[in-house]
Protein backbone atom coordinates (compact mmCIF):
# COMPACT_ATOMS: atom_id res chain seq x y z
CA UNK A 1 0.00 0.00 0.00
CA UNK A 2 1.03 3.62 -0.41
CA UNK A 3 2.21 5.54 2.65
CA UNK A 4 4.16 8.65 3.58
CA UNK A 5 7.35 7.90 5.49
CA UNK A 6 9.11 10.27 7.86
CA UNK A 7 12.76 9.63 6.95
CA UNK A 8 14.33 11.87 9.59
CA UNK A 9 13.60 14.85 11.80
CA UNK A 10 13.10 18.21 10.10
CA UNK A 11 10.71 20.11 7.87
CA UNK A 12 8.19 18.77 5.38
CA UNK A 13 11.01 17.57 3.13
CA UNK A 14 11.52 14.56 5.46
CA UNK A 15 8.06 13.26 4.46
CA UNK A 16 8.57 10.92 1.50
CA UNK A 17 5.95 8.85 -0.36
CA UNK A 18 6.64 5.13 -0.53
CA UNK A 19 5.29 1.65 -0.01
CA UNK A 20 4.46 -0.20 3.20
CA UNK A 21 3.11 -3.68 3.93
CA UNK A 22 -0.65 -4.03 4.22
CA UNK A 23 -1.73 -4.19 7.87
CA UNK A 24 -3.14 -7.48 9.12
CA UNK A 25 -6.35 -7.80 11.12
CA UNK A 26 -6.53 -9.43 14.52
CA UNK A 27 -9.51 -10.36 16.63
CA UNK A 28 -11.61 -7.38 17.66
CA UNK A 29 -10.00 -5.06 15.07
CA UNK A 30 -11.22 -3.22 11.97
CA UNK A 31 -9.42 -2.23 8.77
CA UNK A 32 -10.03 1.38 7.71
CA UNK A 33 -9.58 2.61 4.14
CA UNK A 34 -8.11 6.01 4.97
CA UNK A 35 -9.71 8.99 3.26
CA UNK A 36 -8.25 11.70 5.53
CA UNK A 37 -5.17 11.78 7.74
CA UNK A 38 -5.14 14.16 10.68
CA UNK A 39 -2.21 16.60 10.88
CA UNK A 40 -1.83 18.47 14.16
CA UNK A 41 0.58 21.06 15.52
CA UNK A 42 1.95 18.44 17.96
CA UNK A 43 2.72 16.12 15.05
CA UNK A 44 4.65 18.86 13.27
CA UNK A 45 6.68 19.40 16.48
CA UNK A 46 7.43 15.66 16.61
CA UNK A 47 8.50 15.70 12.96
CA UNK A 48 10.83 18.63 13.75
CA UNK A 49 12.44 16.59 16.57
CA UNK A 50 11.03 18.75 19.37
CA UNK A 51 9.75 17.34 22.70
CA UNK A 52 6.16 16.13 22.82
CA UNK A 53 3.88 13.22 23.64
CA UNK A 54 4.92 11.01 20.70
CA UNK A 55 7.88 8.68 20.71
CA UNK A 56 9.68 6.93 17.91
CA UNK A 57 12.61 7.20 15.59
CA UNK A 58 12.60 7.53 11.82
CA UNK A 59 11.96 5.88 9.53
CA UNK A 60 8.30 5.61 10.48
CA UNK A 61 4.84 6.36 9.13
CA UNK A 62 3.54 9.35 11.12
CA UNK A 63 -0.09 10.30 11.69
CA UNK A 64 -2.08 9.97 14.88
CA UNK A 65 -5.63 10.13 13.54
CA UNK A 66 -7.60 9.13 10.46
CA UNK A 67 -11.04 9.28 8.94
CA UNK A 68 -12.29 6.74 6.46
CA UNK A 69 -14.49 3.73 5.80
CA UNK A 70 -14.35 0.34 7.54
CA UNK A 71 -13.29 -2.12 4.83
CA UNK A 72 -12.43 -5.22 6.85
CA UNK A 73 -13.37 -6.92 10.10
CA UNK A 74 -11.40 -9.09 12.49
CA UNK A 75 -12.89 -12.06 14.30
CA UNK A 76 -15.65 -11.15 16.73
CA UNK A 77 -16.45 -7.74 15.21
CA UNK A 78 -20.07 -6.85 14.41
CA UNK A 79 -20.60 -7.29 10.63
CA UNK A 80 -22.88 -4.22 10.63
CA UNK A 81 -19.74 -2.04 10.97
CA UNK A 82 -18.55 -2.91 7.45
CA UNK A 83 -18.82 0.17 5.21
CA UNK A 84 -19.31 2.69 8.06
CA UNK A 85 -17.57 6.05 7.99
CA UNK A 86 -15.42 6.44 11.09
CA UNK A 87 -12.66 8.44 12.75
CA UNK A 88 -10.00 6.92 14.96
CA UNK A 89 -6.81 7.68 16.85
CA UNK A 90 -3.73 5.52 16.26
CA UNK A 91 -1.60 5.86 19.41
CA UNK A 92 0.85 8.21 17.72
CA UNK A 93 1.72 6.89 14.27
CA UNK A 94 0.63 5.04 11.15
CA UNK A 95 -2.08 7.35 9.80
CA UNK A 96 -0.30 8.62 6.69
CA UNK A 97 -1.16 5.39 4.85
CA UNK A 98 -3.90 4.01 2.61
CA UNK A 99 -5.09 1.55 5.26
CA UNK A 100 -4.83 1.21 9.03
CA UNK A 101 -5.98 -1.33 11.61
CA UNK A 102 -7.49 -0.20 14.92
CA UNK A 103 -9.45 -1.74 17.78
CA UNK A 104 -13.11 -1.82 16.79
CA UNK A 105 -13.99 0.03 20.01
CA UNK A 106 -11.70 2.88 18.93
CA UNK A 107 -13.45 3.47 15.58
CA UNK A 108 -16.02 6.20 16.22
CA UNK A 109 -18.75 7.38 13.83
CA UNK A 110 -17.51 10.21 11.61
CA UNK A 111 -19.08 13.67 11.70
CA UNK A 112 -22.48 13.82 10.05
CA UNK A 113 -22.22 15.22 6.56
CA UNK A 114 -18.49 14.57 6.19
CA UNK A 115 -17.85 12.50 3.09
CA UNK A 116 -15.25 9.75 2.96
CA UNK A 117 -14.24 7.92 -0.19
CA UNK A 118 -14.80 4.17 -0.19
CA UNK A 119 -11.57 3.39 -2.04
CA UNK A 120 -8.27 5.18 -2.36
CA UNK A 121 -5.65 6.14 0.13
CA UNK A 122 -5.12 8.92 2.55
CA UNK A 123 -1.50 9.52 1.63
CA UNK A 124 -1.34 12.99 0.15
CA UNK A 125 -4.96 13.89 0.87
CA UNK A 126 -6.17 16.82 2.96
CA UNK A 127 -6.34 16.20 6.71
CA UNK A 128 -9.71 15.05 8.05
CA UNK A 129 -9.96 17.93 10.54
CA UNK A 130 -9.35 20.42 7.73
CA UNK A 131 -12.24 18.91 5.75
CA UNK A 132 -14.63 19.19 8.68
CA UNK A 133 -13.50 22.76 9.48
CA UNK A 134 -14.07 23.85 5.87
CA UNK A 135 -17.64 22.56 5.98
CA UNK A 136 -18.40 24.53 9.16
CA UNK A 137 -16.90 27.89 8.13
CA UNK A 138 -19.23 30.72 7.24
CA UNK A 139 -19.00 31.90 3.64
CA UNK A 140 -16.64 34.82 3.00
CA UNK A 141 -18.34 38.18 2.55
H or E segment and range at residue 73: strand 65-73
Closest CA to 89 of 123, 72, 115, 66: 66
The pTM (predicted TM-score) of the whole model is 0.77
β-bridge partners, 37: 66
Say how far apart CA 43 and CA 28 lie, in whole Å.
28
- pLDDT tens digits in sequence order for the chain, 141 residues long: 999 999 999 999 999 999 999 999 999 999 999 999 988 888 899 999 998 777 788 999 999 999 999 999 999 999 999 999 999 999 888 999 999 999 999 999 987 665 544 444 444 444 444 433 333 344 444
Nearest 5°: the CA angle 19, 21, 26 is 150
Domain 2-136: which topology? Quinone Oxidoreductase; Chain A, domain 1 (3.90.180)
Which sign, positive or negative, has the C-alpha torsion 48, 54, 60, 66? negative
Q: Where are the domains of the chain?
A: 2-136
Amino acid sequence: MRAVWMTGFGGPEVLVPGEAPDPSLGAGEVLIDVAYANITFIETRFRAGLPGPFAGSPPLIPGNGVGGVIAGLGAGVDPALLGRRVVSGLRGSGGYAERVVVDAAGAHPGPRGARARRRGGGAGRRPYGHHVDQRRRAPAR
